[in-house]
């Protein structure tokens, strides 16, 4: 798919180029992570250098291919396909021109064809097929790379068969809970109501996760098409896309893409000429982590404090403004067009046991090769961290990896044989969450990390449930007393008891899952939970 997309685009652009004289095409990512390491400055330097040398040049800003350790990664279009260079700094630009990079010339920064870079070649890119290849704001690029075909297929097969297709594909919610998407959609479809909603949860607050952001910045139309298909399938006419305010680049790209989709008649009245109307309103979060919890997110859209609702009623029955509502994560919805276009069979054929399809795994923290790595479920944690990620960035020994965000468990290297799927992680008292993996080297203090888990929960608690609101504060205090040498054994027992209470007494995952990082740190790294004085003696 991605090769096809690239060759199609290359072909089209070659034609366009021959029509308008010889203009070289250079691709520079505008993904926030690339921008944070200087992609804007590199793009500007390339434009300036080309002007100085009298070279006609078209700079196209794309999303990122996901190999973030190579950013800023610049690609040029040559007669033999694209050639990548990276990581490129402003100081490297003149040298690249000297080396003839516009025609794929040799240079120490030359990486060759991007699809042959090992980090990219080993992936199975379905959700991220277009990311890094197309201009994310161009609806033409989207259409030319197979866009909207999933929606057209849905229209042809009707709502019921669309939902069946999603159910058969085995697609589960990528936000963390892993609930089967088809069943959620069917529940909403079967609930009679004059108004229904599709809500996309793009409040990607977990540290170590950034796939939603990259998808929105690199292929926003895939998300729009996914929401459109969901709306058609369940009979909703209105969608809300809730993006956290910490993602200004994603907000800008999605705003442009939504307007573009309206302009080309893919949003608005009678989409696809089928008498089905659907539009999407973008909402911006306001710095509250708990709004990533689906019911708190609904409260936030309704103009209230992001406080969690008790379930039942499920949002599928009574959600936004009391109406039946599908709430899905960005990655869930962005996978939908591919499944509709290619059929449920090819998607379900990927993965392992009950985790079907691909997962865009995010490698971050102290890692040599960080980025988004999309692969079928089932690779082991060790393969992801060591083979793909290349170990730590610091070159030191890995001591722990946290999987699934701030509410995910810390795993030691002894558990690196755990396959990356929902059930395998649950069986080892962990969770894959939204697919983020954060690596720590041997300088990490796990008692400090456990304390941070409590402190983060205290900071972000919506305040509704006592175990979360008060328990998290008491957790911090108790760890402090333990480390100060105040009856450490008793304190440890107390923390474990407190975690039980939080786990079973909280309404949502914030209070309920904070015990995961705490208990896993205690279980796998007990030596860090001694009083500071004892730790000193041991060293």
Partner 1 sequence: MIGAWRGGIVDSKDRGVTLLSEGTRADATSFDEAALGRILARHPARQAALLPILHDVVATFRYVPAEAVPLIATHINCTRAEVHGVVTFYEDFRERPPGRHVLRLCRAEACQAMGGDALALQAERLAGCPLGETRADGKLSLEAVFCLGLCAVAPSAMLDGKLYGRLDPATLKLMIGEVLT
Strands of 268-271's sheet in order across: 268-271, 276-284, 238-243, 197-202, 325-329
Q: Which two tokens stand for residue 169?
A: 């594909």
514 binds partner 1 (CB under 8 A): no
Span 395-434, contacts to partner 1 by CB under 8 A: 402, 406
Smallest separation (angstroms) from partner 1 to the CB of 40? 5
365 binds partner 1 (CB under 8 A): yes
Task: Give strand pairing partners of 398.
Answer: 441
Q: Which of 165, 191, 260, 366 binds partner 1 (CB under 8 A)?
A: 366
Smallest separation (angstroms) from partner 1 to the CB of 149? 26
525 binds partner 1 (CB under 8 A): no
The dihedral region occupied by 210, where left means phi > 0, alpha psi between -120 and 50, and beta the remainder, is alpha
Applying CB under 8 A, the span of 14-22, 189-197, 246-254, 264-272 interacting with partner 1 comes to 246-254
Span 269-298, contacts to partner 1 by CB under 8 A: 283-289
Alpha-carbon gap, residue 372 to 280, rounded angstroms: 27
Span 41-60, contacts to partner 1 by CB under 8 A: 41, 43-44, 47, 58-60
475 binds partner 1 (CB under 8 A): no
DSSP 60-75: EEE---S-GGG-S-EE
Alpha-carbon gap, residue 244 to 482, rounded angstroms: 36
Smallest separation (angstroms) from partner 1 to the CB of 314? 21
Collapsed DSSP state (helix, strand, coil) of residue 89: coil
Smallest separation (angstroms) from partner 1 to the CB of 156? 35
Q: Which of 2, 69, 229, 375 binds partner 1 (CB under 8 A)?
A: 69
Phi, then psi, of 82 in degrees rounded to 5:
-80, 150
Mark residues 117-156: x for contact with partner 1 by CB under 8 A, - for none: ------------------x-x-------------------
Smallest separation (angstroms) from partner 1 to the CB of 341? 28
DSSP state of 409: P
Span 72-111, contacts to partner 1 by CB under 8 A: none
Alpha-carbon gap, residue 173 to 171, rounded angstroms: 7
Q: In the complex with partner 1, which residue's Cβ is closer, 68 or 181?
A: 68
Alpha helix (H) residue ranges in 219-286: 220-234, 248-263
Q: With contact defined as beta carbons under 8 Å apart, do 94 and 57 qualify?
A: no
Q: Which two tokens stand for residue 160?
A: 């019921």
Q: Which residues contact 263 (CB under 8 A, 6 or more apart)?
A: 139
- Count helices and strands in the chain by DSSP H and E runs: 24, 17
Alpha helix (H) residue ranges in 350-438: 381-382, 422-427
Smallest separation (angstroms) from partner 1 to the CB of 33? 5
Smallest separation (angstroms) from partner 1 to the CB of 343? 32
Alpha-carbon gap, residue 465 to 482, rounded angstroms: 25
Mark residues 303-332: x for contact with partner 1 by CB under 8 A, - for none: xxxx--------------x-----------
Give the interface size with partner 1 as a residue count (CB under 8 A): 74
Q: Could you tell me how far CA 298 lies from the centroid of its own chain?
A: 20
Q: In the complex with partner 1, which residue's Cβ is closer, 37 or 314?
A: 37
Count other Cβ atoms within 10 Å, centred on residue 69: 18
Smallest separation (angstroms) from partner 1 to the CB of 521? 12
DSSP state of 307: P
Task: Give strand pairing partners of 403.
Answer: 437
Question: How much helix, strand and coil, in percent to the nearest 5, is found in the chain?
Answer: 50, 15, 35
Span 250-269, contacts to partner 1 by CB under 8 A: 252-253
Q: In the complex with partner 1, which residue's Cβ is closer, 347 or 454?
A: 454
Q: In the complex with partner 1, which residue's Cβ is closer, 410 or 420?
A: 410
Span 7-46, contacts to partner 1 by CB under 8 A: 30, 32-33, 35-37, 40-41, 43-44
Span 169-208, contacts to partner 1 by CB under 8 A: 204-208
Q: In the complex with partner 1, which residue's Cβ is closer, 166 or 388?
A: 388
Smallest separation (angstroms) from partner 1 to the CB of 392? 9
Q: Which residues contact 514 (CB under 8 A, 6 or more apart)?
A: 407, 453, 454, 456, 457, 468, 472, 475, 499, 502
Span 433-472, contacts to partner 1 by CB under 8 A: 436, 438-441, 444, 449, 452, 456, 459-460, 462
Q: With contact defined as beta carbons under 8 Å apart, do 204 and 48 qualify?
A: no
Across 277-295, b (16+ Cβ under 10 Å) vs e yields ebbbebbbbeebbbbbbbb
248 binds partner 1 (CB under 8 A): yes
Q: Which two tokens stand for residue 109?
A: 């920064």
Smallest separation (angstroms) from partner 1 to the CB of 366? 4
Q: In the complex with partner 1, which residue's Cβ is closer, 186 or 318?
A: 318
Q: With contact defined as beta carbons under 8 Å apart, do 460 and 200 qualify?
A: no
Applying CB under 8 A, the span of 333-341, 363-371, 425-433, 493-501 interacting with partner 1 comes to 363-371
Smallest separation (angstroms) from partner 1 to the CB of 352? 25
Smallest separation (angstroms) from partner 1 to the CB of 470? 18
Smallest separation (angstroms) from partner 1 to the CB of 387? 16
Pairing of strands 110-112, 197-202: unpaired
């Amino acid at each position: 798919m991605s090769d096809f997309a690239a060759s199609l685009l290359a072909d089209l652009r070659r034609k366009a180029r021959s029509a308008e004289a010889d203009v070289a095409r250079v691709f520079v990512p505008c993904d926030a992570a690339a921008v944070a390491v200087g992609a804007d400055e590199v793009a500007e330097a390339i434009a300036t250098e080309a002007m100085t040398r009298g070279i006609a040049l078209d700079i196209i800003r794309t999303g990122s291919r996901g190999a973030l350790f190579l950013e800023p990664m610049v690609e040029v279009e040559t007669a033999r396909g694209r050639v990548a260079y990276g990581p490129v700094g402003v100081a490297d630009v003149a040298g690249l021109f000297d080396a003839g990079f516009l025609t794929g010339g040799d240079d120490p920064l030359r990486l060759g064809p991007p699809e042959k870079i090992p980090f990219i070649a080993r992936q199975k890119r379905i959700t991220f097929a277009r990311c890094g290849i197309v201009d994310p704001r161009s609806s033409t690029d989207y259409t030319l790379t197979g866009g909207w075909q999933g929606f057209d297929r849905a229209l042809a097969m009707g709502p019921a068969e669309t939902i069946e297709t999603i159910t058969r594909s085995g697609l589960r919610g990528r936000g963390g809970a892993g609930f089967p998407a088809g069943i959620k959609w069917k529940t909403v479809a079967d609930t009679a109501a004059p108004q229904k909603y599709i809500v996309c949860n793009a409040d990607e607050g977990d540290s170590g996760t950034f796939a939603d952001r990259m998808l929105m910045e690199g292929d926003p139309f895939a998300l729009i098409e996914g929401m459109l298909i969901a709306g058609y399938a369940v009979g909703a006419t209105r969608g809300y896309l809730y993006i956290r305010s910490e993602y200004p680049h994603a907000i800008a790209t999605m705003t442009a893409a939504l307007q573009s989709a309206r302009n080309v008649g893919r949003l608005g009245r009678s989409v696809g000429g089928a008498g089905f109307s659907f539009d999407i309103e973008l909402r911006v979060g306001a710095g509250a982590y708990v709004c990533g919890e689906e019911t708190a997110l609904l409260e936030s859209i309704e103009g209230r404090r992001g406080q969690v609702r008790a379930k039942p009623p499920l949002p599928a029955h009574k959600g936004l403004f009391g109406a039946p509502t599908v709430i899905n994560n960005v990655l869930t919805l962005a996978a939908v067009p591919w499944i509709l276009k290619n059929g449920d069979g090819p998607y379900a054929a990927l993965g392992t046991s009950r985790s079907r399809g691909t997962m865009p795994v995010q490698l971050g923290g102290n890692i040599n090769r960080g980025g988004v790595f999309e692969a079928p479920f089932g690779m082991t944690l060790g393969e992801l961290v060591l083979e793909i990620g290349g170990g730590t960035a610091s070159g030191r020994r890995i001591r722990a990896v946290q999987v699934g965000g701030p509410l995910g468990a810390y795993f030691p290297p002894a558990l690196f044989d755990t396959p990356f799927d929902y059930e395998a992680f649950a069986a080892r008292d962990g969770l894959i969450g939204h697919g983020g993996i954060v690596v720590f080297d041997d300088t990490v203090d796990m008692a400090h990390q456990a304390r941070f888990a409590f402190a983060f929960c205290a900071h972000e608690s919506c305040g509704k449930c006592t175990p979360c609101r008060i328990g998290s504060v008491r957790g911090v205090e108790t760890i402090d007393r333990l480390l100060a040498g105040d009856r450490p054994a008793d304190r440890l027992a107390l923390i474990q008891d407190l975690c039980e209470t939080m786990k079973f007494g909280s309404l949502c995952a914030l209070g309920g899952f904070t015990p995961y990082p705490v208990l896993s740190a205690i279980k796998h790294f007990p030596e860090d939970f001694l009083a500071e004085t004892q730790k000193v003696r041991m060293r």
